[in-house]
Amino acid sequence: MKKIPLLPRYFRWIGVGLVLLSVLVYIHQKLLPDTSNFYFMKTFALIMDYPMSNGRVDYFSITEPYDMRLTIQLFLSLLGLTFLAFAKNKIEDEMINSIRLYAWSWSVILMIVYVLGITLFVYGFTFISFYYFIPHLLIVVYSIIFYVNLLKLNRKGNYEE
């Protein structure tokens, strides 16, 4: 039987830590004054914002200091959520795998509905900000469906008939 690649159990706690860290970064950057350069740093990246602001273009090179607030938050939260979603459970067997597959299927379907919805009804820059969170939403929806089903199963299976 083909096995789904999963991370060791302790990655769940690393995931929780990373998600909390991204929340802390969010709170911290909100508390900083507008003039602060705390999250401005040089990075190795492709930057093309010529349609906007100052028209900066950098082709995968060490860039000028760039505002990394959103990048740090998105990176930490996505990595944390991924660790949470892909960490092994206490017991892994074929039924857990089938619940996992069911949860992934529904989360993909719901994401397609979400993308179709925002494509039809959201315009302008707001559209881009809705797009940022697609992978996060995919994993959050998957986790909710998976853990709700697991909880239901545990509740039903608590008593031996």
Partner 1 sequence: MKNNIKIYRVMKGYSQEQLAVLVNVSRQTINALEAAKYVPSTVLALKLSNVLGKKMEELFELEEGD
Q: Measure Cα distances from 57 to 33, 49, 62, 141 in Å.
A: 27, 6, 12, 36
Q: Where are the extended beta strands (E) located within 8-156? A: 40-41, 44-48, 57-62, 66-67
Residue 161 sits in the site that holds partner 1 (CB under 8 A):
yes
Residue 94 sits in the site that holds partner 1 (CB under 8 A):
yes
**Which of 95, 109, 113, 148 forms a contact with partner 1 (CB under 8 A)?**
95
Contact 66, 42 (CB under 8 A): yes
* Sign of the torsion formed by the C-alpha atoms of 51, 54, 55 and 58: negative
Residue 153 sits in the site that holds partner 1 (CB under 8 A):
yes
Stretch that binds partner 1, among 27-35, 66-74, 109-117, 151-159 (CB under 8 A): 151-159
Residue 56 or 152 having the CB closest to partner 1:
152
Q: Give me the amino acid identity at 35.
A: T
**Which of 78, 85, 96, 145 forms a contact with partner 1 (CB under 8 A)?**
96
Where does this chain bind partner 1 (CB under 8 A)?
A: 1, 91, 93-96, 98, 153-154, 156-157, 160-161
